[in-house]
């Protein structure tokens, strides 16, 4: 395989609360290759979003990177500051967020907002920026582009706003796009359109995408590779087909079983009993052990090491037998 | 446009209502102006003659309509105390109050906005705590107390200005400004503290919002995030407060003008009330009310210019 575009190594993120630091992301490592769409799935609270935010340097107050590196274009995204950070954001890496309704500045016209990354990162004349921003509206499939260009965010629907966010994220042609649950707040038809748009961006411009979702079904449709996270740790990673078709980790199995299928209509939808432990709770060596049907005494004592169970398919579980690495 | 014309209509109705209330307040109050002016010793004939001259022997409605129609022509009547047209008296005092008010507003905005933004930016540090302490102090110390304090420290002890000796703009502009800066500061300090408090709170809310995160995600420099994104949004909720301040300041800071012996509107109002100079008092009360009503009107317009969401609700 080619050189990875982004190499995250042993990324740890801590949340400070009541003078204690709790580990929210625990030594997570992964690569993103040029031109691929990598999915990160897991239930709410498993650390997907803050992993993304840490790459953008957008962690909130009280949340900080406690260890690890993320190499991207010769720099460590976790430690760059000041001018280097500003150079990366919106230019080499962009992000689209979970909340299209509130992610646009309510006082700025759409056309102006889409052009912001070019205004910040290039010396292009304003006229050219506006022309490109207008063109982006067509590229993200907005009919009535001239009108939208002059509109304010409150005049648009959630789906339209998310398209605007995509147009803004893509205008400077970044190498990496992070999409944090971009379709969660949208209805199903809009969801499909937004997914298609991301796929098109990936195909036409070779933009690598990290696609974060709690919905393994959606991730399977768009991503070539998938990481499954649970309570701040990786539990399984591999090609989408392998993860969806032949899940190894009991947590991944549970997630797949809870995807509704048309043929199962009328039956109870299986769900994973229990809930994700909150970051402030002490967890066992394997955080999933309390909810796992296959847990043994070993699971609460020793953290599982990474096992290779297929081509590029890894799992962290004592009860899965494959080559340890 | 329809919105603005409707607003103007409401404005006119409000003003008419205010004049009516003011008029009634003065004419329902016990005490006959003619009697008051001439004293209890005066003969009934003399009092009757003065009533005739003042027009106070006419029916109330008649008095009101003649007052209002005079108002519309710019004739506000004649001051009983000064024996001069009210318009002339006010015109003489207005520039002083306007100068003082402008100085206060410039000081308040120029210090209050950056300091509020700065405090929000330093949220959770000792700097923010320090600014909070200062604003608490500023909000709780009244303007007249500061006036006295400034007179004592900067006037009597340090001789930066001569207390009680007002220097007019016409005679010495620089001297006038040097004198006026102290009353202006006395009014501006509590106003600035209030503004800082509001801006800080409003900014902290805005800085937590998603569009600020988007701006940062685009690689926007921190200063631009603060002023062009967050402050513009934060200011929408602070504009009404600024409007109220401006209204208050231009209607004459009565106590501070009194303490510093500044011949402005506030001082004129005090002297007109104490001497029962009803034509003058009436006009000044209407003037003060007008200032408040007009600034409120402007506040509505300004908010609409800043925030496109409000335009649509009308």
Is A291 part of any domain?
A: no
8 A C-beta contact, residue A130 and residue A141 = no
Is residue B223 left, alpha or beta, with left meaning phi > 0 and alpha meaning psi from -120 to 50?
Answer: alpha
Is A294 part of any domain?
A: no
Domain identity same for A209 and A72? yes
Residue of A nearest to B233 (CA): A107
Phi, psi at A229, each rounded to 5°: -110, 145
CA distance, residue A237 to nearest chain B CA (Å): 27
- A interface test, pick of B122, B124, B211 with most A CB neighbours within 10 Å: B211
- Report CB contact under 8 Å: A94, B218: yes
Is A182 part of any domain?
A: yes
**Rounded to whole angstroms, how far apart are CA atoms A49 and A212?**
7
Domain identity same for A236 and A311? yes
- Report CB contact under 8 Å: A168, B229: no
Domain identity same for A127 and A203? no
How many domains does chain A contain in total? Answer: 2
Which two three-digit tokens encode residue A91?
A: 């230019």
pLDDT of residue A120: 94
Which two three-digit tokens encode residue B128?
A: 């923010």
What are B110-166's pLDDT values in tens digits? 999 999 999 998 887 888 888 889 999 988 988 888 888 988 998 888 888 887 788
**CATH assignment at residue A26:** 3.40.50.300
Domain identity same for A204 and A61? yes
Task: Give A55's contacts in chain B (Cβ within 8 Å).
Answer: none
- When pLDDT is averaged across residues B79-88 and rounded to a whole number, the result is 83
CA distance, residue A238 to nearest chain B CA (Å): 29
Domain end marker among A172, A196, A213: A172
CA distance, residue B237 to nearest chain A CA (Å): 13
Please tell me whether the interface predicted TM-score (ipTM) of this complex is above 0.95. Answer: no
Task: Give A117's contacts in chain B (Cβ within 8 Å).
Answer: 218-219
CA distance, residue B102 to nearest chain A CA (Å): 29
What are A194-228's pLDDT values in tens digits? 899 899 999 999 999 999 998 888 888 899 999 99
Of chain A, the percentage scoring pLDDT greater than 70 comes to 98
pLDDT of residue B314: 46
**Rounded to whole angstroms, how far apart are CA atoms B128 and B105?**
24
Cα three-residue angle B88-B93-B97, rounded to 5 degrees? 145
- When pLDDT is averaged across residues B205-225 and rounded to a whole number, the result is 93
Task: Give A99's contacts in chain B (Cβ within 8 Å).
Answer: 210
What are B20-69's pLDDT values in tens digits? 888 888 777 766 777 777 777 777 787 788 777 777 777 778 888 888 88
Which of B124, B210, B219 lies closest to A102 in CB terms?
Answer: B210
What are B232-272's pLDDT values in tens digits? 999 998 999 999 888 888 776 788 888 888 888 888 888 88
CA distance, residue B11 to nearest chain A CA (Å): 28
Domain identity same for A11 and A142? no
Is A117 part of any domain?
A: yes
Superfamily, domain B92-313: MetI-like (1.10.3720.10)
Domain identity same for A228 and A153? no
**Sheet arrangement for strand A323-324:** A93-96, A176-180, A208-213, A37-41, A225-230, A233-239, A313-316, A306-310, A323-324
Domain identity same for A139 and A208? no
- Report CB contact under 8 Å: A97, B312: no
**A59 or B170: which leads in pLDDT:** A59
Predicted TM-score of the model (pTM): 0.84
Confidence of residue A94 (pLDDT cuts 50, 70, 90): very high
Q: Domain residues of chain B, as ranges?
A: 15-73, 92-313
Confidence of residue A239 (pLDDT cuts 50, 70, 90): very high
pLDDT of residue B235: 92
- When pLDDT is averaged across residues B70-99 and rounded to a whole number, the result is 85
pLDDT of residue B1: 66
pLDDT of residue A322: 65
Is residue B107 left, alpha or beta, with left meaning phi > 0 and alpha meaning psi from -120 to 50?
Answer: alpha
Domain identity same for A263 and A203? yes
Which positions 115-154 of B are in contact with A (Cβ < 8 Å)? 123-124
Say whether A232 sits in a helix, a strand or coil: coil
Domain identity same for A117 and A155? yes
Kindly report the average pLDDT of chain A as a whole number. Answer: 88
- Report CB contact under 8 Å: B124, A61: yes
- Report CB contact under 8 Å: A152, B309: yes
8 A C-beta contact, residue B275 and residue B8 = no
Handedness of CA B273, B276, B282, B283 (dihedral sign): negative
pLDDT value at A270 more than 80: no
Kindly report the average pLDDT of chain B as a whole number. Answer: 85
DSSP letter string over A234-265?
EEEEEEHHHHHHS--SHHHHHHHHTS--GGGT
Instruction: Please indicate if any CB of chain B lies within 8 Å of the CB of A102.
Output: yes
Say whether A66 sits in a helix, a strand or coil: strand
CA distance, residue A154 to nearest chain B CA (Å): 7
Domain identity same for A197 and A165? no
pLDDT value at B313 more than 60: no
- Report CB contact under 8 Å: B309, A85: no
Say whether A7 sits in a helix, a strand or coil: strand
What are A154-208's pLDDT values in tens digits? 999 988 999 999 999 999 999 999 999 888 878 888 888 889 989 999 999 999 9
> What is the interface size between A and B, counted as CB pairs within 8 Å?
75
Least confident of A75-84, A204-213, B20-29, B91-100: B20-29
8 A C-beta contact, residue A276 and residue A230 = yes
Domain identity same for A196 and A311? yes
**Domain extent at residue A47:** 6-92+174-270+304-324
Is A288 part of any domain?
A: no
Is residue A131 left, alpha or beta, with left meaning phi > 0 and alpha meaning psi from -120 to 50?
Answer: alpha
Domain end marker among A116, A151, A172: A172
Residue of A nearest to B208 (CA): A60
Domain identity same for A201 and A238? yes
- How many other CB atoms are there within 10 angstroms of residue B170's CB atom? 8
């Amino acid at each position: 395989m080619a050189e990875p575009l982004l190499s995250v190594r042993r990324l740890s993120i801590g949340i400070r609360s009541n003078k204690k630091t709790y580990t929210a992301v625990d030594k997570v490592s992964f690569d993103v290759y040029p031109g691929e769409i990598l999915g990160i799935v897991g239930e709410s609270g498993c650390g997907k979003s803050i992993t993304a935010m840490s790459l953008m340097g957008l962690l909130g107050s009280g949340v900080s990177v406690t260890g690890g590196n993320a190499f991207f274009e010769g720099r460590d995204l976790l430690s760059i500051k000041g001018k280097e950070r500003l150079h990366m954001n919106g230019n080499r890496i962009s992000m689209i967020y979970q909340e299209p309704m509130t992610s646009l500045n309510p006082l700025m016209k759409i056309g102006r907002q889409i052009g912001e990354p070019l205004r910040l990162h290039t010396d292009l004349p304003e006229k050219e920026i506006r022309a490109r921003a207008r063109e982006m509206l067509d590229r993200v499939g907005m009919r009535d582009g001239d009108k939208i260009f002059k509109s304010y965010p409150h005049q648009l629907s959630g789906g339209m706003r998310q398209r605007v966010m995509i147009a803004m994220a893509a205008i400077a042609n970044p190498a990496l796009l992070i999409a944090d649950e971009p379709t969660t707040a949208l209805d199903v038809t809009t969801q499909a359109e937004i997914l298609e748009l991301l796929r098109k961006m990936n195909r036409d411009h070779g933009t690598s995408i990290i696609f974060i979702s709690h919905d393994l079904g959606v991730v399977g449709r768009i991503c070539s590779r998938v990481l499954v996270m649970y309570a701040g740790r990786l539990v399984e990673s591999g090609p989408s087909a392998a993860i969806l078709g032949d899940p190894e980790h009991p947590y991944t199995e549970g997630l797949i079983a809870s995807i509704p299928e048309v043929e199962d209509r009328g039956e109870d939808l299986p769900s994973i009993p229990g809930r994700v432990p909150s970051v402030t709770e002490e967890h066992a060596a394997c955080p999933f052990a309390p909810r796992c049907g296959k847990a043994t005494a070993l699971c609460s004592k020793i953290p599982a090491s990474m096992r290779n169970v297929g081509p590029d398919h890894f799992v962290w579980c004592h009860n899965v037998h494959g080559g340890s690495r | 446009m329809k919105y603005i014309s409707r607003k103007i209509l409401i404005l006119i109705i409000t003003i008419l209502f205010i004049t009516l209330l003011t008029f009634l307040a003065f004419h329902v109050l016990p005490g006959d102006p003619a009697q008051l002016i001439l004293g209890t010793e005066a003969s009934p004939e003399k009092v009757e003659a003065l009533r005739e001259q003042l027009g106070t022997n006419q029916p109330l409605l008649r008095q009101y309509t003649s007052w209002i129609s005079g108002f519309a022509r710019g004739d506000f009547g004649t001051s009983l105390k000064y024996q001069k047209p009210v318009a002339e008296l006010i015109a003489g005092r207005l520039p002083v109050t306007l100068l003082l008010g402008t100085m206060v507003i410039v000081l308040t905005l120029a210090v209050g906005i950056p300091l509020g933004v700065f405090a929000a930016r330093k949220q959770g540090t000792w700097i923010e705590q320090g600014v909070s302490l200062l604003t608490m102090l500023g909000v709780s110390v009244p303007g007249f107390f500061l006036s006295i304090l400034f007179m004592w420290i900067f006037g009597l002890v340090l001789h930066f200005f001569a207390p009680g000796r007002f220097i007019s703009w016409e005679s010495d502009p620089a001297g006038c400004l040097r004198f006026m800066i102290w009353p202006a500061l006395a009014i501006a300090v509590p106003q600035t503290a209030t503004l800082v408090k509001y801006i800080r709170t409003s900014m902290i809310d805005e800085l937590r919002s998603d569009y600020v995160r988007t701006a940062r995600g685009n690689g926007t420099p921190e200063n631009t995030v603060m002023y062009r994104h967050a402050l513009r949004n934060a200011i929408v909720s602070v504009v009404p407060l600024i409007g109220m301040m401006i209204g208050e300041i231009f209607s004459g800071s009565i106590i501070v003008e009194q303490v510093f012996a500044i011949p402005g509107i506030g001082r004129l109002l005090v002297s007109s009330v104490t001497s029962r100079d009803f034509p003058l008092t009436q006009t000044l009360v209407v003037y003060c009310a007008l200032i408040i009503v007009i600034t409120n009107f402007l506040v509505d317009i300004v908010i609409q210019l800043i925030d496109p969401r409000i335009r649509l609700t009308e």
